[in-house]
Structure 1
């Protein structure tokens, strides 16, 4: 493995690991706040127990997310020094504000975890809400920085120099809203289905049914509403990409030739050399409508883009198909759940089993979506301005660093899984006591 590939792989590994915890950190505090609110309004002890159990999970994910996020910050400077030298002063503002949001989140979480019985109940609840708002804000700010890489703004590039820097314009670039919206909804869907699926599994095992049923309903509602909204966000994002990054859209759809009434490709195996897609289902005019809202519109293909600037078609296409396919699966499950909720049949075992199957789907879709975002931008690290190969560090030995980080992340993932498993077992043991429902500490 050469150093350039190793640097890209290490960054991909770090980001792929961190994004799971950042999504959970953005969303779980809102679940926690809803449960806490229900306890304050109903005084039902089961909601307090759900809240406290979830708060321990939030603390675990916050700690791991903070560590992995810090590693990513260092990697930007160590692996991509040329990029940071030129880009840092331009898009540094959202990173600085993200640090502030993280600081607020950490303080609010500390207040929340140690505030039980020490603060006014409603003030205590507010600190939990602040954890959620600051976490979501932190995620949006990071996405704004990534969006700048896809849609550079806030400077003039003249003779290799970055002049007339405007950090506000850089932060609120043309891509930030569509990416932030799509990522935020995806985080709610992914986390919601994962949490709901775990509680559904416990219900199927007939363990602490009342506890898990209450938790399941909160998480499932968040997940289903997000999954229903996600296709609308995806449509907005696709139209935005079609305007700003036609090469990425062409790679997503393996669209090799510019044409009107372009077909929407479902599945298939791209053959970049022959410039065709084998074994695909094609919907005539579908891509034209997806990209421009007109079945007869012309869609730019890879034939209009120099080959040196083509993204890796196969990886981008497969990742896009996985993201969309899983998104549709979660949408279908959401509609089934809302129908069951309307019919008051949410305790059906087949429905719960579907939620168990859906535990990993949202996060797989998130990883696939970020693959589309990052791989589809190649060969650029700053779209149209700086190539990724020109930004990598000249230092040798990056491959060894990649192997080391892989081992660390695998170990850390194992520790997190063990801690969460232990946390779930603790809850189950508490409720299995013959005295009945206890307050969870």
Structure 2
């Protein structure tokens, strides 16, 4: 493995792990706050138990997210020094503000975890809400920095120099809103389905049913609502990418030839040499409509770009298909759940519906990983779109492959430790908070 591929692989590995921790850290506090609110309004002890159980999970993911996020910040400077030399002064504002949001989140989490029976009950609840709001703000700010890489703004690039820097324009670039919206909704969907899936498994096993049923309902409503809303943000993102990064859109759809009334390819195996897609199903005109709102509009293909400026088609296309496919599956489950909630209440007691959620536990996070693959691989060969190539930003330091192997071992170990801690936490929950059905005090 050469050093360039090793550097990219290490960054991808670090991001792949961190994004799971950050998504859960962004979203779980809101679940926690809802359960806490129900406890304060109803005095039902099960909601207090749910809040305490979830707060311990939040603490675990906050700690691991903080460590993995810190590693990422060091990796930006160590692996991509040329990038940080020029980009740091331009897009440093969202990172500095993210640090502020992180500190607020840490302080509020400390207040919440140790504030039981010490603070006014509503002030205590507010500290939990602050954990969620600051975590969400932290995620949005990081995504805004990534969006700048896809849509550079806030500077003039003249003769290889970055002049007239405007950090505010850089932070609020053309891509920040669509990317942040899509990422936040994806985090709610992924975390909601994952948490609901774990509680659904416990219900199917008939373990502490009352506790897990209440927990499942909160998580499922969040996750299913997000899954149904997600296509709207996806449409906004698709139109935005078609406008700003037509090469990325072409790679996502394996759209090799510029044409009007372009068809949307479902599935398929791209053949980059023959410039064609094998075994795919093409829906006439739909790509044109999704990209430009007109079934007859022209969609730019990869043939409009020099080969050295084209993203890797196969990886981008497969990742996009996985993201969309899993998103559609989650939408289907969400539709069934809301149908059960409002019309077919008997379904809520059925194992088949719960087992659907159990099967869907990892789908959201797989979709999130696939979506980030589309975002990052689809931007290649640029680290700053149309300004700086990724190959020009990498460190000249040798031996990066050894660093990659070391970090791989470290993250695998971290993943195993977190999994063990969560497994133990779930077991402890059933021992500590096992209440008979209908119990309130």
What is residue 19 of structure 1 aligned with on the other side? 19
Offset at 1:347? 1.8
| TM-score (structure 2 length as normaliser) | 0.98
Q: Would the aligned equivalents of 2:44 and 2:440 in 1 still touch at CA under 8 Å?
A: no
Could you tell me whether the CA contact under 8 Å between 2:210 and 2:437 is conserved in 1? no
**Secondary structure of 1:256's aligned partner:** coil
The corresponding residue for 1:420 is 422
How far did 1:272 drift? Answer: 0.3
> Contact 1:93 / 1:167 at 8 angstroms: preserved in 2?
yes
Q: TM-score, normalised by structure 1?
A: 0.98
Query: Of 363, 366, 383, which aligns to 1:364?
Result: 366
Q: Which residue of 2 aligns with 1:138?
A: 138
Q: Name the structure 1 match of 2:228.
A: 228
Q: Which residue pairs with 2:118 in the alignment?
A: 118
Deviation at 1:437, TM superposition (A): 6.3
- Closer/same/farther in 2, CA of residues 33 and 90 from structure 1, 3 Å limit: same
Residue of structure 1 equivalent to 2:179: 179
The one-character-per-residue Cα deviations of 1:271-330 (angstroms, maximum 9, x if unpaired) are 000000000000000100010010000000000011100000000000000000000000
Contact kept in structure 1, 2:148 and 2:171, CA below 8 Å: yes
Q: Distance in 2 between matches of 1:398 and 1:437?
A: 58
Distance 1:247 1:72 in 2: 27
How much has 1:251 moved relative to structure 2? 0.1
2:394 equivalent among 380, 392, 395: 392
| Count of residues in correspondence between the two structures | 439
CA RMSD of aligned residues (A): 1.2
Provide the residue aligned with 1:258 in structure 2.
258
Structure 1 segment 149-188 matched on structure 2, within 5 A: 149-188=149-188
Partner SS state of residue 277, structure 1: strand
Partner of 1:31: 31
Secondary structure of residue in 1 paired with 2:349? coil
Using the TM superposition, give the Cα deviation of residue 431 of structure 1 relative to its aligned residue in structure 2, in angstroms.
4.0
Rounded to whole Å, the distance in 1 between the matches of 2:235 and 2:281 is 20
Distance (Å, rounded) in 2 between the aligned partners of 1:270 and 1:432? 53
Among residues 380, 383, 386, which one is paired with 2:382 in the alignment? 380
The residue that corresponds to 1:201 in the other structure is 201
Aligned pairs for 1:15-414 (under 5 A) are 15-342=15-342, 343-345=344-346, 346-414=348-416
SS of equivalent to 2:396: coil
Distance 1:358 1:434 in 2: 28
In 2, Cα distance between equivalents of 1:163 and 1:307 = 30
Post-superposition shift, 1:436? 10
Unaligned runs of at least 5 residues, structure 2: none
